[in-house]
Amino acid sequence: MYRPRLIAIPLILLFLSFRAYGQQVKADTSVNKQAPKTLFVNAGLQYLSQLTYAGRRAASSVPVLLPTFTLISTKGFFVAGIGYFDLNGSKSAAEGLSITPGYVFSFDKKKEFGGVISATKYFITNNSPIILSSFDATIDGQLHYNPDNIVKLTVDGSYRFSKSGPNDVINDAELSKEIQVTKNGNNKDGLKVTPTVTLYSGTQSFYKTVDSTLSNSSVLKNILSPGQTTTTQSKQVTQYTILALSGSLQLAYVIKSWQINFTPYLIQPYHQVNYANNTPQNGSYFLFTTGVSVTF
């Protein structure tokens, strides 16, 4: 039996991780850094039909409402806070929050080549149904390259500290293309569509059953069970593997300092197991996010 242990593997870089919130933060950061001010505030409210991380969702996954608040300086430093409220009918409750300080940087004046470094501390209740409940903290890094706005390549790396059990390394590679559909007023206003394909990989802990065969050396053991004795033991193994493939299409409408977004996702996880009956759980699933934010 080869049984993978459940690990929580989003939100990276404040982008829900950071992944679900990520598209919004990236867009807002870009707008903020171009404005002639030294400090900006971005406040938003995001709805997720399912909270996932690196293409994985928990069996108890529920819709989540995320109020967000971010301070961003023109020097590239930012501090972000996210609240987590699960929307589960009569069982709806506040599940906690996360705090993320970080730094946005560019290697060139055209800002085609740059990245983000950050660290996130999670304060999520242990019995929470959301997948982030096993997180203690993450350290994240990202690099992106977007030559002449033809296509944007992004690579992310995240080291996840678990509340219990082994820590994990998560990586993803992403291709995206921002398309300006309509323009209102200045070049930043209007409707933008961003198709994105993301491949997730990372470490995963497994419990593997190992059969050990021992020779029966005593006379009594040979009489009762001649030859050899086989014992079964469970051994924990960690391996790096492909985790999921995701496709999304972000629709963002910008009106001056306001942004309204809607993003559907189709996600295909790999090497995931249903722990109730120890069967593969690799079927694709759909989710969406929608929200609004304002920068001032």
Spell out the domain ranges in the chain. Answer: 2-203+237-295
Quote the CA–CA distance of 121 and 99 in Å, as a whole number: 5
Q: Which CATH class is domain 2-203+237-295?
A: mainly beta
Containing 223, the helix (H) or strand (E) segment is helix 219-224
pLDDT tens string 18-33: 333 333 334 444 444 4
Quote the CA–CA distance of 107 and 145 in Å, as a whole number: 10
pTM of the full structure: 0.77
pLDDT tens string 62-105: 899 999 999 999 999 999 999 999 998 777 889 999 999 999 99
Contact 48, 289 (CB under 8 A): yes
Cα–Cα–Cα angle for 119, 125, 128, rounded to 5 degrees: 110
In the block, tokens 């197991």 appear at 273
Contact 190, 254 (CB under 8 A): yes
Mean pLDDT, rounded, of the chain? 80
Quote the CA–CA distance of 263 and 251 in Å, as a whole number: 6
Reported confidence tier of residue 153, pLDDT bands at 50, 70, 90: very high
